[in-house]
Amino acid sequence: MGYVLLNRFSSGDWEAIDRDFCEGKIGSKEAYSRIAKIIKGDEESVLHFVRTHSDIDSHFVSFYHYCREQGIDVKIVSDGLDFYIKTLLELHHLSEIPFYANCTRFHSGDGMELSFPFASEECGLCGTCKKKLVQIHRNEYDSILFIGNGLSDRCGAREADFVFAKSSLYRYCIQQDITCHFFENFREILSDLKKRIRGVIFDLDGTLIEAYEAIYLGLKEALEHFGRESFSFSDLRKYLKADLEATLSHFFSPEEVPKAVPIMRKKYEEIYLGHTYFLNGAKEVLESLHSQGILMGVASNKFGRFSRGALSHLGVSDYFKAVIGAGDVPRNKPYPDMIEAALR
């Protein structure tokens, strides 16, 4: 909507301002402050233009009503201008949706003034700081889903639990390793929200169970066998890598690693059941999912036999349709072999 309004009501070179914004030379707060000086048009003309030249995603209304039925709160956080958001919501009978945006005050004749009540004192780049707004609402909800597409959405996406993204925001999320799902329109988001979870695949160590003491004692045994100096248990996690071989490569040469593996595994097998226990809340989660009929599996870089032994020892092996570990498939995580095997 912003660009459509600028094309109609600006009296200057707004493209240069927008270019500086897109190139990161200025934030949206500065860009809007400059643009406000070249906007011409009275309030009635501007609002009439919004009513006759704008629309929303045709699936948004269905999305919103579904969220209401499910008890999901919907809030709009926009780095746009409040007058056209308010007008659009009124047009589609959605005025009850709370929104946060940059505030506009029209002059009695021509033009407007802007204010930024939701800007961040910390950086001040965006007119509306979406990071700040997500943080403000964090304690109200178990989880926050963020939907966006542009530059001003980046900080908000970082704070959310899950993100639906498109356009430049999607590219940014991929580059920054932010968990997200691509969408074209709200029909796709609505479809995803309606999907029933039928199965969950868990990692094991550090996700469901705590077995670091057994890992430490096994590694210590291998180090002592080769006459190497050991280290304190508190330092273990900084040495742990994706799999056993990668972990051992920090202490042993490439020729020694294949010899150290069976030594560590032998010691680990002797002691691991006595040093393996659930992490807080993990057993309750498994019991809840099992009672709901959710299919469950494990994909762990722990040796497969040890993974299955640990779950059996803890009394939950019957909960899992598949437990895949190192040695069960050609390649360990992060390759997809374990996940693919668990899904079969």
Question: For the chain, which domains are there?
Answer: 2-194 (3.40.50.1000), 199-207+277-343 (3.40.50.1000), 212-275 (1.10.150.240)
pLDDT in tens, the chain (344 residues): 577 788 888 877 888 988 998 888 999 999 999 988 888 888 899 999 999 988 899 999 999 999 999 999 999 999 999 999 999 999 999 999 999 999 999 988 788 899 999 999 888 899 999 999 999 999 999 899 999 999 999 999 999 999 999 999 999 999 999 999 999 999 999 999 998 789 999 999 999 999 899 999 999 999 999 999 999 999 998 888 888 898 999 999 999 999 999 999 999 999 999 999 999 999 999 999 999 999 999 999 999 999 999 999 999 999 999 999 999 999 999 999 999 999 98
CA 172 to chain centre: 12
Give the Å distances, CA to CA, from 92 to 67, 89, 211, 220: 16, 5, 55, 67
Q: Which residue has 């779950």 as its token pair?
A: 311
Decide: pTM greater than 0.75. Answer: no
Maximum distance among all alpha carbons in the chain?
A: 87
Check if the beta carbon of residue 214 is closer than 8 Å to that of residue 276.
Answer: yes
3-state SS of 5-40?
HHHHHECCCHHHHHHHHHCCCCCHHHHHHHHHCCEC
